[in-house]
């Protein structure tokens, strides 16, 4: 099991969704779907990606929580194991200073799904389906991935997985 990234974001407006352990499962203004928790002056959002992912990947996931035209120079991220029970962005940044880091846009890295034959848009849609919590969407995403993997030589899939895991462990 991975340690997922939490992003500290500016105010996202009034998002309403399904309650989940003090957070809410919502559809964000930028199209992302995931968990969020409002703060007095911002929000915490679960990015649905491991904290050890490359900075540019985490930044792009955080951008998915913003309206398309809004940009941020950088985003504060920290592991989901370090979420404090505080109410302001400054308090959160201070409390997570030892565990978190700033991430910003960078060269986009291909995802494992793209290496398996998905387009970038298909890979993003697949991620949204997996994070949706909807059994029908989860089953469809599972079937799409299974079909892509079954089309490939097992040795190619193993090589892709090994290369992907070596990048993530850095």
Instruction: Give residue-wise pLDDT tens across range 131-165.
Output: 777 889 889 989 999 999 999 999 999 998 888 77
- The backbone torsions φ and ψ at residue 122, rounded to the nearest 5 degrees and listed phi first, read -65, -40
pTM, whole model, 2 decimals? 0.66
Give Cβ neighbours of residue 85 (< 8 Å, ≥ 6 apart). Answer: none
Average pLDDT, the chain: 87
Asked if residues 22 and 37 have their Cβ atoms less than 8 Å apart, the reply is yes
Residue 168 pLDDT grade (very low, low, confident, very high; cuts 50, 70, 90): low
Residue 169 has pLDDT above 70, yes or no: no
**What does the domain layout of the chain look like in residue ranges?**
4-103, 112-168
């Amino acid at each position: 099991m991975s340690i997922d990234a939490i992003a500290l974001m500016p105010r996202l407006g009034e998002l309403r969704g399904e309650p989940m352990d003090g957070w809410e499962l919502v559809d964000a203004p930028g199209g992302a779907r995931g968990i969020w928790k409002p703060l007095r002056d911002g929000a915490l959002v679960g990015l649905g990606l491991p904290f050890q992912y490359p900075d540019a990947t985490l930044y792009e996931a955080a951008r998915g929580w913003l309206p398309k035209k809004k940009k941020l120079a950088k985003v504060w991220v920290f592991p989901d194991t370090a979420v404090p029970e505080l109410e302001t962005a400054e308090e959160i940044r201070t409390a997570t200073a030892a565990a978190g880091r700033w991430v910003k846009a960078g060269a986009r890295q291909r995802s494992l799904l793209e290496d398996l034959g998905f387009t970038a848009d298909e890979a993003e849609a697949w991620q949204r389906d997996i994070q949706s919590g909807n059994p029908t969407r989860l089953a469809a995403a599972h079937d799409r991935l299974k079909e892509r993997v079954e089309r490939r030589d097992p040795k190619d899939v193993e090589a892709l997985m090994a290369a992907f895991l070596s990048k993530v462990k850095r």
